[in-house]
Amino acid sequence: MAKGMREIKRSIKSKQNTKQITKAMEMVAASKLRRAQEAAEASRPYSEKMKEVIASIAAGTKGVKHPMLQTRPIKKTGYLVITSDRGLAGGYNANVLRKVMNVIREKHNSTNEYAIFVIGRKGRDFFSKRNIPIVEEVTGLADSPTFADVKQVAASAVANFEKGTYDELYLVYNEFKNAITQIPTVKRLLPLEEVSGASVSNYEYEPSPEGVLEVLLPKYAETLIYSAVLDGKASEFGARMTAMNSATKNATKMISTLTLQYNRARQASITQEISEIVAGANAQS
- Predicted pLDDT of residue 60: 62
Expressed as residue numbers, the domain containing 113 is: 26-242
Whole-prediction pTM: 0.85
* Residue 9 maps to a domain: no
- Predicted pLDDT of residue 185: 94
* Residue 263 maps to a domain: no
- Predicted pLDDT of residue 59: 67
Q: Environment class of residue 197 by beta-carbon count within 10 Å: exposed (0-12), middle (13-18) or buried (19+)?
A: exposed
φ and ψ of 70, to 5 deg: -110, 130
* Residue 126 maps to a domain: yes
* Residue 52 maps to a domain: yes
* Residue 101 maps to a domain: yes
- Predicted pLDDT of residue 283: 72
- Predicted pLDDT of residue 200: 53
- Predicted pLDDT of residue 50: 80
* Residue 18 maps to a domain: no
The count of structural domains within the chain is 1
* Residue 53 maps to a domain: yes
* Residue 198 maps to a domain: yes
The CATH number that applies at residue 33 is: 3.40.1380.10
Low-confidence ranges of the chain (pLDDT < 70): 1-3, 58-64, 193-203, 205, 281, 285
